[in-house]
């Protein structure tokens, strides 16, 4: 049995298989998942698990070189944006929510949380550990 890190076997497997510049998405419970993109559904009830809890766990186990967010988060969910900035200080960019949804088509996986606040979605681009 694993001693630390991600215990969810599907997430642990995806993270172990990521290469440089591969992307994953952590999403609220409303973000559409494109056909053909693997979905790991963690949503249990509204708000559980939260986006921030899930992001913290992933960031502790994944080398991230860049994140992409929907620009709408700046005005519609400042609380979650502040939490993201507390846990990730690296490179980031903002795109429209429509463009964000298009970018999810290239992700290795979309991890769906129980988050119910608007625009609580992030694309994490894998870095390298050397």
Positions annotated as catalytic residues are 20
On whether 57 is known to bind a ligand per the annotation, the reply is no
- Residue 8 labeled ligand binder: no
CB 41 within 8 A of CB 67: no
76 is in an annotated binding site: no
Residues composing the chain: 130
The answer to whether the annotation marks 94 as part of a ligand binding site is: no
Task: Confirm or deny that 28 is annotated as ligand binding.
Answer: yes
Q: In the chain, helix, strand, coil percent, each to 5?
A: 35, 25, 40
Binding residues: 28, 97, 119-121
Binding residues for substrate: 28, 97, 119-121
């Amino acid at each position: 049995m694993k001693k630390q890190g991600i215990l969810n076997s599907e997430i642990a497997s995806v993270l172990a298989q990521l290469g440089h510049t591969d992307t994953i998405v952590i999403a609220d419970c409303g973000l559409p998942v494109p056909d053909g993109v693997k979905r790991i559904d963690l949503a249990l009830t509204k708000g559980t698990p939260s986006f921030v809890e899930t992001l913290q766990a992933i960031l502790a186990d994944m080398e991230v070189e860049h994140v992409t967010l929907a620009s709408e988060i700046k005005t519609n969910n400042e609380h979650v944006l502040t939490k993201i900035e507390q846990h990730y200080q690296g490179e980031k960019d903002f795109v429209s929510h429509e463009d964000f949804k298009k970018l999810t088509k290239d992700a290795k996986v979309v991890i769906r949380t129980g988050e119910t606040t608007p625009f609580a979605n992030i694309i994490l681009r894998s870095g390298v550990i050397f």
